[in-house]
Amino acid sequence: MNNSSTLKLHWFDWFLILGVTITSIITSAFAERFDWLGLIINITGIINLVLCAKGNLINYFFGIIYNALYIYVAFSTKLYADSAIYLLYYLPMQFVGWANWKKNQSKESGAVITRRLTAKGAAVLIAIAAVLIPLFARILSLPAIGDAQPWADSATTVASIIAMYMMVKAYVEQWYIWLVLDVIQSIKWLVETIRGGEHAAMMLIMFLFFTANAIYGLIQWNRLEKSESSRK
């Protein structure tokens, strides 16, 4: 299976990659010390998502690096819920995604074969969310945890779990969820930047570009789905 067509980067791919890199370098240069870790996270993260938007299997290699480093940053910034979901779910799902996409690549383009979520599938995911969101909110409300926004954090956590599952299964509709989540993450890291959190400014830059990539990914995956349908 040939991945060459999905490795061809267009101008918007370069805009995202170079935009993240240059903006991160400039931001770090004005900080008290150069944030090499934040720079590596940003670069691997955006390459991961650009290749994901193109349906390329190699995205998971960069995803493994990005998720492992993000766990450390989130934990050091005391975003414990973030670090937990990345450690227990996002990182392991990179390996699951690699295996699943490898089995479902287009012979012509090398891109993953995308799918549409059925009404039944959507109903099942909504039902799961309806059960898990109150459950997680209840847990986060416990005095031992004392989450400031248990319902909001629970909703974003559950949405992230569902979106990652949909990505591994190559559902086009995943990008709608990622778009909303990236906007929320941008706001969260903006707050941390204002508070002076370490690496926070770099994470804010990253998620702003992630938001742009979510829009790009939605467009690209709709094209992939239409292209695959025309071959059937």
pLDDT value for 225: 85
**3-state secondary structure (DSSP) of residue 115:** strand
Rounded to two decimals, the pTM is 0.82
pLDDT value for 111: 86
pLDDT band at 32 (very low <50, low <70, confident <90, very high): confident
Treating both helix axes as pointing N-terminal to C-terminal, what angle do 36-53 and 11-29 enclose, rounded to 10 degrees? 170
pLDDT at 180 over 70: yes
Separation in Å, CA 201 to CA 32, 67, 98: 12, 18, 30
